[in-house]
Amino acid sequence: MGFLTEGFFSAIYLIFNLDYMVLSTAYTTIQVGFISTICASLIGLPIGFSLATFSFRGKKILVLLIQTLLGLPTVVIGLIVYGFLSKKGPLGFMDLLFTPSAIVIGLVILATPIVIVFSYTTIKTVDSRVRETAFSLGASELKAAWTVICEIRYEILAVILAAFSRVSSEIGIALMLGGNIKGFTRTLTTAIALESTKGEFAFGIALSIILLFIILIANLMSFVFRKL
Amino acid sequence: MSLILKNIKVEYEGFNALTIDCLEVSASKTIWVTGPNGSGKTTLLKLLAGLITPKTGIFTYNSKDLVTKKDYMEYRQKTTLLSQEPYLFRGTVFKNVMYGLNKKKLPKKELKTKALNAMEQTGILNLSNRDSKHLSVGEKKRVALARCIAIDCETILLDEPLAGLDEKSISQITNLIKKLSQLEKTLIISTHNYENTKNKNDSCIHLESGKIENFSH
Amino acid sequence: MQAVILFLVLIFFPISGVEAKRLKFATTTSIANSGILSPLLSAYKKKQEITVHAIITGTGKALELGKHGDVDLVLTHAPKLEHLFIKNKYGIDKKEIMFNYFLVAGPPSKKPLLKSEKVVDILKQIAKKKYSWISRGDNSGTHVKEIELWKNAKLNPLGKWYLSSGLGMGRSLIIAEEKNAFILSDRGTYLSFLHRNKINLRIVFGRKDKNLLNVYSVIQVNPIKHKNILYNEARKFSDFLLSNTAQCIIKKFKIKKVPLFYPVSLCTNNQSQGK
């Protein structure tokens, strides 16, 4: 129990003293987490919606493919993207490796299947009358789609939050594509890994608490949105 | 306004829900659709509302065949359907009634007036700010009806509008239907019970097992 | 609403900026965890404007990054692997910048081993008495050195007493602590952990035995193999590591008054430095 309580008090101390390193890792976590969640949602929601609403050839295969992608371990995603972004790879000229942008790319690949599958199942359970009612009142395809999303907006928000929580607690991709560079690509998770190699378990716990706190705030924000 | 259905077949999961050899609907008429449960009344109404497309056959509106998705969308601007169990969107009653109006290119004030008028006609002005999820069956139906009336379509389809209502609501809606027919709208109404509302000039389609048994007009 | 816009600007602005030129070098966790990088990089920052980014990984990965051209230089302490790296022309201009000695650490509670002038004698005693031993087992510089020592002792360590952790130095030290075992460690990590009260292991063999020499070198990635390697900047940095300023920093770097590394060249103190 020793380093757990030590970690807890460390966390409070670090936050109140606005420790620069801690703030910078927290900022990086929020930055890459937020951007990749938004991108994954912008890509994944329309796909999930289309899968749930329209029927087309090869749909079942596509669903199977996406559900398989869900099970991809993050180190595999990290390895594949590294292969692309490395100077040896086809996108090496873009100089993206070991930057926050590289982490975002990996995290978007991780999060998009999550958004697709969860939004697909959410939309499938929507009352089929919504779309029909929208059409009966003269709505266009786009407006009808928007109406469906609006009707389940809190469920969709839950999907987006699930994606955010997933990417914020991710470590394999952040390490491999970001390089854990101090003050630049060091996220809370990669910092925790580093501190544990140094034997600094209490500090690791402190950082973990801060990470949990961030995810908690994100979930609390959904309550705020409900009230608006 | 004329609607012609020819050689129509509508299928649900491989089973034939509706077969129509030929049906013609002309403007400003009230048409009653009767038949036992499962005879295809709702299917016919949804078809006429442009909400489902037939597997085979031709649907002609004002001498133009409806073929593409765009055709159907344009057609749907002219008609509206009140479902048997209407779905109300999240939000207030007023927001629901405004739903179909929001795209019309008119000043907001005018749109608001249209909505309020429709609400007055259906007797739900007092419910304007109520949450749509907390209404009784009758109230929900009247909100949905106001929603349909507000957009002022030339054709209004009503799927069993009186089902599940109390006496007071029944008479209210019945009067409203009479008023609407007087406004020269084309009304297509499915029902189990129409004896006391039928006019001499009204038409009646009787369905049995997905086929038109009788069309009196 | 304004708060939302401010939030979005703060999040997106830095990531959208064009990446400024930066020097990337790969190094190992043991070097990074010793803490020596901080003062070296700060001193370099005072001289040069270029941003230097240190990517911290295992030895093998650091050299792989160099091989792929994803970094401009590598800073490692694995002579055999470094030799291969240069032989294959992935790296050029190797410069040894500092060194120290590996040591054998062990549990304070164990019966003392007979002291000896030679590390192989210590190993022979441990093997004979089947005292627990933790090996890195991960082909790191430390592990390669350990295998060499067992070979020199003409022993093939096998059995329940010989455990392979497959983990980094720090974690392996903690395992040794938990299991009351002996272990070969680099000086920096051992002292760092001891100083921070993470372990209670004591030094069983800490002499400057040339068999235990641990040399740290910086190697530039071969610019011929990859375009866009910042060769000149890398050259400036590796020259800096051999400069008087850097060598003095290395000499003066201590944990609880105990030096961790020895510089390769003399530190001449003719600068007007306060510390």
CA distance B130 to C108: 77
* Residues B190, B181: Cα–Cα separation, whole Å: 15
Tell me the C-alpha to C-alpha distance, in Å, between residue C190 and each of A191, C134, C215.
21, 14, 16
Q: How far apart are CA B205 and CA B22, in angstroms?
A: 12
- Judging by beta carbons within 10 Å of its beta carbon (0-12, 13-18, 19+), is residue B68 exposed, middle or buried? exposed
Residues of A in contact with B76 (CB under 8 A): 135-136, 138
| d(C-alpha C114, C-alpha C205), whole Å | 11
The residue assigned the tokens 């703030």 is A23
CB B100 within 8 A of CB A137: yes
Q: Distance (Å, rounded) from C-alpha C140 to C-alpha A196? A: 19
Per-residue confidence (pLDDT) for residue B197, from 0 to 100: 60
Q: What is the band of A58 on the pLDDT scale with cuts at 50, 70, 90?
A: confident
Provide the pLDDT for residue C271.
Answer: 53
Which CATH number is C101-212 given? 3.40.190.10
Chain C residues in contact with A180 (beta carbon < 8 A): 55-56
> Which tokens in the block code for residue B18?
């509706």
Q: Token pair of B160, please?
A: 């069993």
**A196 touching chain C per CB within 8 A:** yes
Distance of CA C188 to the CA centre of its chain: 8
Contacts 24+ apart (CB under 8 A), C32-37: C32/C56, C33/A197, C33/A198, C33/C169, C33/C170, C33/C188, C33/C189, C33/C192, C34/C188, C34/C189, C34/C192, C34/C260, C34/C261, C35/C192, C35/C253, C35/C255, C36/C188, C36/C249, C36/C250, C36/C253, C36/C260, C36/C261
Taking only the tens of pLDDT, chain C with its 275 residues reads 677 777 777 777 665 444 568 999 999 888 888 889 999 999 998 888 788 999 998 888 899 999 999 999 999 998 888 999 999 999 999 999 999 999 999 998 766 777 778 888 889 999 998 999 999 988 788 888 999 999 999 999 888 999 999 888 888 999 999 999 999 999 888 998 998 888 999 998 888 888 899 999 999 999 998 888 899 999 999 999 999 999 999 999 988 888 889 999 988 876 544 44
Please report whether residue B95 resides in a domain: yes
Cα–Cα distance for residue pair A222/A165, rounded to 1 Å = 13
pLDDT digits (tens, 9 = 90+) for A82-126: 999 998 889 888 888 999 999 999 999 999 999 999 999 899 888
CA distance A135 to B77: 9
State whether residue A197 sits within 8 Å of chain C by CB: yes
User: Considering only CB atoms, which chain B residues are within 8 Å of A139?
Assistant: 100, 103
CB C243 within 8 A of CB C267: no
Closest CA of chain A from C122, distance in Å: 27
- What the block records as the tokens of C219 is 């190697």
Distance CA A113, CA A67 (A): 7
Name the domain count of chain B: 1
> Residue C274 has what pLDDT?
44
Verify whether the Cβ–Cβ distance A194 to C55 is below 8 Å. Answer: no
Which residue ranges in chain B fall short of pLDDT 50? none
Burial of residue B203, with CB atoms counted within 10 A of its CB: 0-12 exposed, 13-18 middle, 19 or more buried? middle
pLDDT at A16: 82
How far is the alpha carbon of B182 from chain A, nearest alpha carbon, in Å? Answer: 22
> Do the beta carbons of residue B72 and residue B53 sit within 8 Å?
yes
CA-based nearest residue in chain A for residue C51: A184
**Residue B215: inside a domain, yes or no?**
no
Q: Rounded mean pLDDT of A118-143?
A: 90
Domain membership of residue B78 (yes or no) is no
Nearest CA to CA, how far is A23 from chain C (Å)?
14
Query: pTM of this prediction?
Result: 0.81
Q: Are A100 and C15 in contact (CB under 8 A)?
A: yes
Of B197, B151, B173, B199, nearest to B29 (Cα)? B199
Range(s) for CATH 3.40.190.10 in chain C? 21-100+214-263, 101-212
Alpha carbons A113 and A70: distance in angstroms, whole number: 6
Query: Which CATH number is C21-100+214-263's, of 3.40.50.970, 3.40.190.10, 3.30.70.60, 3.30.230.10?
Result: 3.40.190.10
Integer Cα distance of B129 and A25 in angstroms: 47
* Strand-pair partners of B19: B9, B211
Chain B residues within 8 angstroms (CB to CB) of chain A: 46, 49-51, 69, 73, 76-77, 79-81, 83, 85-87, 89-90, 99-100, 103, 147-148, 151, 153
Q: Given 2.70.98.10, 1.10.10.370, 3.30.9.10, 1.10.3720.10, which CATH number is that of A2-227?
A: 1.10.3720.10
Domain residues for the domain of B106 are 87-152
The domain ranges of chain A are 2-227
Which of B66, B73, B148, B154 best probes binding to A when mutated, by most A CB atoms within 10 angstroms?
B73
Structure tokens at B92: 């207030």
Contact assignment for B83 to A130 by CB distance below 8 Å: no
Q: Are residues B81 and B52 in contact, defined by beta-carbon separation less than 8 angstroms?
A: no
Question: A133 and B83 in contact by Cβ < 8 A?
Answer: yes
Q: Is residue B61 part of a domain?
A: no
Sign, Cα dihedral of B205, B206, B211, B216: negative
